[in-house]
Structure 1
Amino acid sequence: MGGSMSITGVPDGEPMKMGLSMFDLTAGLHGVIGILAALQDRHTTGLGQHVDISMLDVSVALLQNQGMNYLAKKERQRRVGNNHPNVVPYQVMPSENGHFILTASNDEQFERFCKVAGRSDLMKDDRFSTMKARVVNRSIVTPALNEITKTQTTGWWLEKLEADGVGCAPILHPDE
Structure 2
Amino acid sequence: MTQASAIFAGGCFWCMVQPFDQHPGILKVTSGYTGGHVVDPTYEQVCSGTTGHTEAVKIDFDPAVISYQELVDIYWQVTDPTDASGQFQDRGDNYRPVIYVANEAQQQIATASRAALAASGVFKEPIVTTIEPVQPFYPAEDYHQDFYKKDPARMALEEAGGRAHFIKSHWSK
Identify the TM-score tier after normalising by the shorter chain: under 0.3
Which is bigger in relative contact order (C-alpha 8 A, separation at least 6)? 2
Write 1 or 2 for the structure with the bigger share of strand.
2
- State the TM-score, normalizing by the size of structure 2: 0.27
Greater Rg by CA: 1
Instruction: Pick the structure with more helix per residue.
Output: 1
